[in-house]
Amino acid sequence: MRRFENILAVYHDDIGADEVFSKSVSLARTNGAELTLIDVVQDRFATIAGVKERQKRLRRLIPAIHAEGVDNARVIVRSGTPFLEIVREVLRQNHDLVITSAESSAGLRNFYPGSTTTHLVRKCPCPVWIIKRSQKTRYTRILACADPKSQNTSDLELDIKIIELARSLSESNAAALHVVHAWEVGGYDHERLESELHDSFRAEILAKHESVHRDRIKALLDAAPLSGINHKLHLPRATPHRAIVNLVDELNIDLVVMGSVNRTGISGFFIGSAAETVLASIRCGLFTVKPECFRTPIVVEEASLRTASKT
């Protein structure tokens, strides 16, 4: 399946550079996509000579990219605030995927507020794939995180996108696919569970709520079928972040695919504490997806957009 057409890979000389390079080149070849490598020199370190030197380093990678079967490749170096320049490049050139690395050798467990990666996950309009250092070239276990709790069209579209992307990644890696939908008991039944109940009544309440959520995830998988894919469904009674973190550890997951912003379309807002906790707690790769209604709070000057459209 040709999923991506215009990939932007964030390339640095230090953490995770080799992993980002190999994964982005492989994905570009598989999808027949254009590939752009971008490096951003922070303002306080930027000099004309320094920028030119980084451009030379990146240009030396072009022959290797061509040798891997990716014909349409280019490199760019910007100066400024890294996440701003990366998102602006996405807006200028209509990139449909950003690939970057976690900013810590420990993977994502030092995923701290204010980092470039955090800003990209929150504010980049296209999917962001975060690859940890020493990531395996081929994944064997992928976890898709669905949350089919409402009938809102935007919510359904996001869940379908998550499942379809996870399926595509599973197929291309010949990986087992796990789908998780965490659920909790709410409303009056939650209050009842907090009181003293006979075990049979407690079991009846839990079975009723689990059945509702099983029906919801079944309806989602009817809309985004996984026939022919080696997959397993998980319906843990837990908070979303706890369920995801537990499954990542228990199943030795290589990649998590999940939504990264809230579902109201408010510019640059996170889903909330669940997503933040997941990002700060897992060591595997992370593929974040946004709903179609998402609007980034970052803008590009109109003149820049006109210039980009002519190149």
Q: How deeply is 206 buried, as exposed, middle or buried, from its count of CB atoms within 10 A (0-12, 13-18, 19+)?
A: middle
The verdict on 287 and 176 lying in the same domain is: yes
The pLDDT score that the predictor gives to residue 114 is 59
Do 74 and 144 belong together in one domain? no
- Could you say which of 85, 107, 137 is where a domain stops? 137
Pair 307, 187 in one domain: yes
Based on the domain organization, do 106 and 185 belong to the same domain?
no
* pLDDT of 210: 92
The pLDDT, as a whole number, for residue 306 is 41
Model pLDDT, residue 307: 42
**Based on the domain organization, do 149 and 288 belong to the same domain?**
yes
Indicate yes or no: pTM above 0.75. Answer: yes
pLDDT averaged over 10-residue windows placed end to end, the chain, 311 residues: 86 78 92 95 81 91 96 94 95 96 55 72 91 73 88 79 94 93 87 84 90 93 92 93 92 91 45 57 86 86 46 36
- Burial class, 282, CB count within 10 angstroms (exposed 0-12 / middle 13-18 / buried 19+): buried
Spatial contact of 223 and 156, defined as CB atoms under 8 Å apart: yes
Parent domain of 148: 138-311
Residues 301 and 238 in one domain: yes
Q: Where are the beta strands (DSSP E) in 104-220?
A: 128-131, 141-145, 176-180
> What CATH number did the domain enclosing 253 receive?
3.40.50.620
Residue 62's closest CA among 72, 52, 54? 72
Shared domain check, 142 and 129: no
CA distance 198 to 274: 32
pLDDT of residue 7: 98
State how far the Cα of 95 lies from the Cα of 67, in Å rounded to an integer: 23
Instruction: Give pLDDT, residue 292.
Output: 83
One domain, residues 270 and 311: yes
Residue/partner pairs of 169-175 with CB below 8 Å, 24 or more apart: 169/139, 169/142, 169/255, 169/257, 169/287, 170/142, 170/229, 170/230, 170/231, 171/1, 171/229, 172/30, 173/138, 173/139, 173/140, 173/142, 174/138, 175/138, 175/139, 175/140, 175/141, 175/142, 175/254, 175/255
Distance of alpha carbon 276 from alpha carbon 271, whole angstroms: 8
Give the three-state DSSP class for 178.
strand
Q: Do 128 and 182 fall into the same domain?
A: no
Task: Say whether both 78 and 111 belong to one domain.
Answer: yes
Pairwise CA distance, residues 121 & 68, whole Å: 29
Q: What is the total count of domains within the chain?
A: 2
pLDDT confidence of residue 277: 65
Same-domain check for residues 89 and 145: no
Same domain membership, residue 182 and residue 122: no
* pLDDT score of 261: 62
3-state secondary structure of 18: helix
Q: Which of 137, 164, 185 is the last residue of a domain?
A: 137
pLDDT score recorded for residue 264 = 42
Domain final residue, candidates 92, 121, 137: 137
CB 179 within 8 A of CB 221: yes
CB 176 within 8 A of CB 212: no
